[in-house]
Structure 1
Amino acid sequence: MTTVTSYLSLSTLSHSSQTKRTLSSTRFPFPNSDSSRSRFNFSSNSVQAFRPSNPLSKFVIRCSSSVTDIPTVSETKLNFLKAYKRPIPSIYNTVLQELIVQQHLMRYKKSYRYDPVFALGFVTVYDQLMEGYPSDEDRNAIFQAYIKSLNEDPDQYRVDAQKLEEWARVQNSTSLVDFSSKEGEVEGILKDIAQRAGGKGEFSYSRFFAIGLFRLLELANAMEPAILEKLCAALNINKRSVDRDLDVYRNLLSKLVQAKELLREYVDREKKKREERSEPQKANEAITKCLGEQFSGL
């Protein structure tokens, strides 16, 4: 994929019609993790898997970070479950569990540093994933538990995402790319990212960052492929990586749409079955009541 225009709009994708699949066959493009099979060693500067000297031993994953007392993936997942104890429907929980593994590995890399574009990307993914969740209160509580399990501030994520969205809505294709020549809070954030990504500080590119960039383009109505290329160049970001990750995100959302459609059909079908089963029972109750009234008058 080489053009931005081939991506599905974040605001309209959830309403598209897709080919039906079974829920059990729906898989999502995020790394799987089995915490019972892996232990984590944080002495290296990158995430990598290697075989221990004992060929019968399990794989060991190395993950680096500047944070002391780094938790394991299983500890992060356990923190999430402790913070939010109510059951989550599997269609949502499956993706949430895979996301939290992926974000844990991002969070505790040595080069990781929080930035608002990353936050915007995650908030965009989360809101798309949880769209249609039965309870708004639970959806917000899950968000809080998720971010806190990673030892970060969920309110900061929301505030920064909203700040960037409001800024992007009043931009155009020219002003969005020319942030380096302007003054302002968001412009300062983008300048800092460009400096760090250019090698003057710690910067860790991620899929959430790519989605945050795309969200800025979408809100600014600047979807031309050339604008994405210019924005990536201004931020010192590899455009090929952005294209690849946005394509993965598009596929994820497409599968979510399919799964949610199947779930909705299943719920409607079960509701109809319950109503059909209850109709004879209601008829019998009405007949019994009528006969009872007649016999009581004798």
Structure 2
Amino acid sequence: MDNIRTVSETKREFYNFFTKPISSIYRRFIEELLVEMHLLSVNADYQYSPIYALGVVTLFEKFMYRYQPDDHQDLIFDALCKSTGGDTKQYRQESNTILNEAETLSISNFKEDFTKSAQEKVNDKLLWKSYYSIAQNPKFKYSRLLAIGLYSLLEKISSDLVESKEEYNKAIEQIANDLGLSSERIQKDIELYCSNLEKMQQLLIAIEDSLEFGRKKRISQQEEDTLKTNDNELKEE
């Protein structure tokens, strides 16, 4: 039996690829994502899917878009993919491809297009090929990253859809039924993703506000010190 790579080995490999310090604000997010991708990659039922890749790319970009320095973002993502056996270029290219394909769809014809693609043209579009390959695999390993990828597709198909609870629930139920997955689990993972994203955004705003307050306070203090110095010089004269 082949030796299964451990979490520690994957972490060590990640930090071999990315040797810079990671900001403490983002370190926990990065390590949790790394462990999640690792555990999936070593699972016997794991099957790469462009929809899963879209989930990884979306999650990373949503949480890391304010990371500084900017040029470290691509380096960290590359280290995440490589250390878990993935191909960075494939993740990004195929994510973009299925998003672009989703943009041409509408919710009203989503089911019809899937049925038709399954019967006639599944190889024409990467999105339908990916979707159908999951549907035809009873052992497909579900993950919250896949759920995030599905949510990103729904946002691209119709940004208004996610604002309508009734229509959103119908779409999730349809997708879950198509793919043979649990709609309840998909919804729960998407809700947790949205909640965590909102918390992260609030945290970053609070940090930026605190830094701005500190900056203004320092400037004010410098101006006050300058005035005192000038006053003292005038008195001495």
Fold agreement, TM-score > 0.5: yes
Give every structure 1 segment of 4 or more consecutive aligned residues whose post-TM-superposition deviation is greater than 3 Å.
280-288
**Pair 1:215-2:149 in alignment:** no
Q: Which residue of 1 aligns with 2:73?
A: 139
- The code of the aligned residue for 1:277 comes to Q
- Measure, in 2, the Cα distance between the counterparts of 1:156 and 1:282: 57
**Is the contact made by 2:52 and 2:146 (CA closer than 8 Å) also made in structure 1?**
yes
Q: Which residue of 1 aligns with 2:191?
A: 247
How far is 1:276 from its partner?
Answer: 2.7
**Pair 1:187-2:124 in alignment:** no
- The code of the aligned residue for 1:246 comes to I
Q: Which residue of 1 aligns with 2:222?
A: 278
The alignment yields a C-alpha RMSD, in angstroms, of: 2.3
Which deviations, in whole Å up to 9, do the C-alpha atoms of 1:177-206 show, x marking residues without a partner?
Answer: 23131222221221111101xx2xx41000
- Measure, in 1, the Cα distance between the counterparts of 2:206 and 2:12: 30
How far is 1:286 from its partner?
Answer: 7.4
How far is 1:248 from its partner?
Answer: 1.4
- Measure, in 2, the Cα distance between the counterparts of 1:234 and 1:154: 28
Q: Which residue of 2 aligns with 1:73?
A: 7
- Measure, in 2, the Cα distance between the counterparts of 1:164 and 1:245: 21
- Measure, in 1, the Cα distance between the counterparts of 2:13 and 2:230: 53
How far is 1:174 from its partner?
Answer: 3.2
Gaps of 5+ in 1: 1-42, 44-67
- The code of the aligned residue for 1:274 comes to R
- The code of the aligned residue for 1:175 comes to N
- Measure, in 1, the Cα distance between the counterparts of 2:70 and 2:26: 14
How far is 1:117 from its partner?
Answer: 0.6
- Measure, in 2, the Cα distance between the counterparts of 1:208 and 1:280: 52
Which deviations, in whole Å up to 9, do the C-alpha atoms of 1:12-71 show, x marking residues without a partner?
Answer: xxxxxxxxxxxxxxxxxxxxxxxxxxxxxxx8xxxxxxxxxxxxxxxxxxxxxxxx4322
- Measure, in 2, the Cα distance between the counterparts of 1:180 and 1:287: 82
- Measure, in 1, the Cα distance between the counterparts of 2:225 and 2:16: 43
Q: Which residue of 2 aligns with 1:108?
A: 42
Which deviations, in whole Å up to 9, do the C-alpha atoms of 1:125-146 show, x marking residues without a partner?
Answer: 1111012223331111111111
**Pair 1:158-2:102 in alignment:** no
How far is 1:283 from its partner?
Answer: 5.2
Pick from 213, 223, 227 the counterpart of residue 269 of structure 1. 213
**Is the contact made by 2:147 and 2:190 (CA closer than 8 Å) also made in structure 1?**
yes
Gaps of 5+ in 2: none
How far is 1:284 from its partner?
Answer: 7.3
Alignment of 1:1-298 (within 5 A): 68-178=2-112, 179-182=114-117, 183=121, 184-185=124-125, 186-196=127-137, 199=138, 202-221=139-158, 222-223=161-162, 224=167, 225-280=169-224, 282=226
How far is 1:98 from its partner?
Answer: 1.5
- Measure, in 2, the Cα distance between the counterparts of 1:235 and 1:177: 12
- The code of the aligned residue for 1:113 comes to Q
Task: Give the length in aligned residue pairs.
Answer: 221
How far is 1:73 from its partner?
Answer: 0.9
- Change beyond 3 A, Cα 1:144–1:287: farther
- Measure, in 1, the Cα distance between the counterparts of 2:202 and 2:4: 37
**Is the contact made by 2:41 and 2:85 (CA closer than 8 Å) also made in structure 1?**
no
Percent identical pairs in the alignment equals 30
How far is 1:87 from its partner?
Answer: 1.9
- Measure, in 2, the Cα distance between the counterparts of 1:177 and 1:121: 21
The answer to which structure has the higher helix fraction is 2
**Is the contact made by 2:172 and 2:186 (CA closer than 8 Å) also made in structure 1?**
no
- Change beyond 3 A, Cα 1:82–1:284: farther
- The code of the aligned residue for 1:172 comes to S
**Is the contact made by 2:134 and 2:179 (CA closer than 8 Å) also made in structure 1?**
yes
- Change beyond 3 A, Cα 1:174–1:283: same
TM-score, with length taken from structure 1: 0.68
Which deviations, in whole Å up to 9, do the C-alpha atoms of 1:219-276 show, x marking residues without a partner?
Answer: 1114412122112211222111101111211221122122112211221122123323
- Measure, in 2, the Cα distance between the counterparts of 1:127 and 1:71: 27
